[in-house]
Amino acid sequence: MKLNLVVLFAGVILLGAAIPFDVNYFNYSKPVPYAQWQTITLNDFKGLKKPAMTMAGFSEFAFIKTSREIFFHENSIEVITYFHPSRSYVFNKDIRSPDLLRHEIYHFHIAEYCSRLLRKEIFDSKNIFSRSLITDFENKYIELENELQRKYDEDSEHGYIMMQQKVWEIKMDGLLSSLEQFAEPAIAINKL
């Protein structure tokens, strides 16, 4: 019984120590909507990485955390893509490379592209939808985003292969431009 309490207490302590590594509550910054993406710098990456963490032995990279939130209003639905500064981090704080930032910003662009696809699908549904159908739409674009994010990192080797990085930049710029009419987060609807 005593050993179980010690193990339980140690587990709670370890869990408490791990929580700040997901969100930096000590240097918290609220999420940044996609509309403000051009204001983001590597100094905004305030998350804490786990000690001795690297990516395949490299410490010259960063990690960006994004999310998508859907807000239901009386006459509109808002789909907003966010960057989370307190959950994003740079592995080596001495590196302030514009190439590194550009690679991470294109992860944000991929997230926004999927949000625009979601907005378009909501718009195209001609107000024949429910909250559960919108959840289905959202899940579809979460899967697509995960696949695109994985492929982007794989093709560009996390931004190290500059030619592939440029290919993805041109591709994403074109895709975002093709959905420019869905750049605004709010979609007007009839009541749900």
Q: Which two tokens stand for residue 33?
A: 């909507």
Residue 8's alpha-carbon distances to 12, 19, 50, 78, in angstroms, are 6, 17, 22, 43
Residues in a beta bridge with 79: 70
pLDDT at 23: 72
Q: Which long-range contacts (CB under 8 A, 24 or more apart) does 117-121 make?
A: 117/141, 117/144, 117/179, 117/182, 118/68, 118/79, 119/79, 119/182, 119/185, 119/187, 120/179, 120/182
**Are residues 29 and 88 in contact, defined by beta-carbon separation less than 8 angstroms?**
no
- Reading the block at residue 173, the tokens are 């710029």
Q: What is the pTM of this model?
A: 0.84
As averages over each run of 10 residues, the pLDDT of the chain (192 residues) reads: 62 51 74 97 85 55 92 93 93 77 97 98 84 92 97 93 97 98 92 54
Taking CA 88 as the corner, what is the angle to CA 145 and CA 28, rounded to the nearest 5 degrees? 130
Give the integer Cα–Cα distance in Å for 92 and 32.
22
Coil, strand or helix at 47: coil
The predicted pLDDT at position 14 comes to: 47
- pLDDT score at 13: 59
**pLDDT score of 34:** 98
Contact 46, 29 (CB under 8 A): yes
Alpha-carbon distance of 25 to 90, in angstroms, equals: 17
For residue 15, what pLDDT is reported?
47
